[in-house]
Each structure stands twice: as structure tokens, then as C-alpha cells.
Amino acid sequence: MKTRRDFLKTSAFGAGAAMLSPYMSSAIAAPDQGKPPMRFIFMHKGNGLFPSVMVPPSLSREDMEKERKKEPFEVDLANHELPAWMSALNDHKESLTILQGLSGKMCTNGHHSWQSCLGVYAANERLSSIKWATVDFELAKLFPSPLEHIELACFPIDGGNARGNIHGIEKGFSARGPQQPNYAFGSPKVAINELFKSVSSNETDRIRYELDRKVLEFTSGNQSGLSHDLAGLEMAKVKNYAESMEDLRRRNKKLESMGDVIGRNVPKLDKKYFADDLSTIDCQLGHTEILLSSLISGMTNVATFTVDELGTLYTGVPGLETEKINLHDVGHGKGVGKLKAEEVRETIRIRHMALIDSIVRRLKSVPEGNGTMFDNTLLFYFPDNGETHHGTGIEWPYLVLSGRNAKLNIAGRYTRLPYWGQAGHKTIGNWFTTILNAYGNPIKHYGDLDLGLNKFQIDQTGPIKQFLS
């Protein structure tokens, strides 16, 4: 590996370390790190994800019979067609994994799962139900960044987490720790104003940012001093508040030091993405651009994106532009326009695949190390409530796109694991344990166990070893 001096002599970036990519800047500051960080993107959807739609149509008769019986098997995707709705991912088949057979019955299923699908415990609207940090935040600890983590959401108008503030900043679907929900950006407008305000060229935005910074500075110091006059629980509350303010100050300082890099990666969004009546499809597109800019600039290494939730009122769907699609009705078999419910579901999934294709192509276009940013990325697409509209969690399908430096032995395959109750069955707790173990967290097991599996004497703890070989 080149030394810091060698690199600076030969670098094509004449402006020095401040103008380098986030990885190269950190590598110069700490050359022993030796490689870029991994990035993780969690994209989850509402209204279930039918296992039947995940199956390659070109499976052999023998494998199709195994699929029908939900028996474990594995095939190379290079030798098979993808389901039609996944066609946008045809150019990425070597990186794609279709994973079937996981379960999540220890989670909250049914209509909504709140933090369940990322935390592997039964969650609800009460903060007291949040047991620990969700897996995306655990990964963010392993790959620190100035923002630590960002969450974007197309919020539901009813149920789920947002309720009345679907275009603002509202309680999201991730958790920072016990009883600590994360907060998500509900529109591209609010996300870009908050995430990129430190490099805004708008004078009003700059003044607002400077005022915010002074308020944080005052509040942090003032609350710390006030704590001397308090005791017990009240003192703890004030101390936590002051520490939060100080964390925000430190984050802002890091972002300010990255101003050149962030400024070059501010999302170039059309003015329509700042409208208050943005369609769901345009909201998804705008969020995708912000997600990419945040990753490419190095502001974060982990992003969570709720592409929709059961209560998301879909608008702007191609072919159904004049319709407001109620996903709950679709879940109960109601069609929209000329489309049957199953066709509406497929149309929406096709849009999701287009978003994933955009993300993967963009990351493949960004040089990093001896390859591209996508080489150091894992993207997960999955339902937030299990396999159906009224999910039971008995199956939890996953699509995964993994770069060549990913530490999981899964790429390019359709894999069906043993079904619920069968010997060797695995849960999403095993799946997240696998990911955390692969990237440096030696946790014995992440998440709650499924008590219903005890009667089968199945060992539920630990990683899925075949994915780590």
C-alpha cells in the first residue's frame, strides 16, 4: 500500500486532502485502515411480499417441485431467467441473491411491524416496545460516519408511524437504542434542506444554519450548567438532552470540514421535487437521489429507505397516474382501474426495481479503490410485515445485491432455506446475526427467538454458516 507521502505526490487531486473522496481523506488521516468502508442500504416495503413472485420461471421440473414443497435447494441465477418484474436487475444478476425460507414470527406481523423488521422483536406504537438498536444502527456503529445513519420514508397517511406529518420529519422505522426511535425524512424537500444546509448557496439557508449552530452551542452549555441544580431522574434527562445537543454540534463540525466534498454531491433535483403535493413515485425518486448523494459524499455509510407502507396512498404510478391507490384495498384483492390487485402489486414492485437499478448503476459509476463504490455496498429489499398483506412472518423473502467485496457468500443465487419447522430452519435473527458477524460484531445472536420453533428442537441462535464460508 502506498504511503501518505507517495499518495500526495501522485494524486490527481491538486487541491489536497480536503478535495478527496471521503474514503481517501480518512485513509490519509489513518493509512492503516487500508480499505473503503462498507455501505448498507435497507429498502423495505409494506403490504407483504409473496414468496411465489420471487421464483425464477425457468427452474427445472425437479426444482420447481422442491419449490412447491418448500424444500431447501439452490441454483445459479446465471442459468435462469428472473421473474418479469425483476427485469431491471438483469444486468446485475451476478450480484443478486433471491433468498427464501427465512421467518420472522417473533416480530409484529399483520398490517404494520414498526421497528420489528429491523430489530427482530415485537414492536408497536409505544416507545417502550423498542428493545434495542435496529440492525442498521448496529452496522452504522461498525462503519462510523458524520451522520451515522439516515432514514428516508414515504410515510403512510394512516397506521404505521407517521400519521399527520407525512411530509416532515417524523418517527421512523429504525431505532437508535432501547426506547429511542429514529426520525425519518418524509419528503425530498425537507431531507435536502436539513442534510445539505451546511453547504447551501441560498443566503437565507446559510443564515438559518448559522443561527441553528449558535442555538445548539448555547443550549448544550446552558443545559449542562443547569444539571448541577437537579438530581435523580431529572438530572439524567437534562444530561441526556445536553449530550444530544453536543452530538449534533460535533456532527455539524464534521460536515463543515467536508464542505467541498458535500458541495460537489448536493442532489440536483428538479423543482417539482420540492412541491408539497409530490406524488409517491416522485417522492421515491427524490429520496433515491438524496440517498445516493449522502452515501457518495461520505456523510453516511448506512441508509434506510421505506419505499412504502401499508397506509401509503400511492399516486403517480405509471399507467395509473390519475388514481390514488389504497394499498390496504389492494391487499384485500381490490383492483385499480383496469388492473387486478396482483397486477397493481407487480406494477409497484417494478417501480421499486427501477429504483434499485438506479442506485446500483450510480454506485458502479463512482470509482473507489481498485473498483467502484458498489464493490463495497450491500443493498437489501424486503417486506416490513412478512409474506402477505396480513403477514404471519412464517416467510420473509429477501432480495440482496452485494458488491464483490461483501463478506457474504451469497451472490448470484436463488437460495431456498429449510421451511419453518424443518431441520436447519433459519430466522431473520439468524440472517442479521450473519451480517453483523461478517462485519465485526461477534454477537452470539441478534434478536428475539421464535418460541413456536421450540417444539421442533431447532437451534435458533447464531449465524447462517453457509453464508460465511
pLDDT digits (tens, 9 = 90+) for 202-221: 545 544 444 444 443 444 45
Q: Determine, yes or no, domain membership for 389.
A: yes
Q: Is 310 domain-assigned?
A: yes
- Residue 21 shares a structural domain with residue 160: no
Structure confidence at residue 249 (pLDDT) = 54
Say if residue 82 is in the same domain as residue 215: no
| pLDDT tens-digit map of 162-174 | 666 788 888 899 9
Assess contact for 308 and 327: CB atoms under 8 A.
yes
- Domain assignment present for residue 347? The answer is yes
Q: Do 295 and 391 share a domain, yes or no?
A: yes
User: Domain tally for the chain?
Assistant: 3
Q: Which of 216, 247, 265 is the last residue of a domain?
A: 265
Q: Do 400 and 325 belong to one domain?
A: yes
Does the pTM surpass 0.95? The reply is: no
Same domain, 336 and 252: no
Q: Encode pLDDT of 348-369 as tens digits.
A: 999 999 999 999 999 999 999 9
Amino acid 206: pLDDT:
46
* 434, part of any domain: yes
Residue 192, domain member (yes or no): no
- Same-domain check for residues 176 and 319: yes
What range defines the domain where residue 2 resides?
A: 1-34
- Find the mean pLDDT for residues 95-100: 98
Q: Both 352 and 211 in a single domain? A: no
| 26 and 53 share one domain | no
324 shares a domain with 206 = no
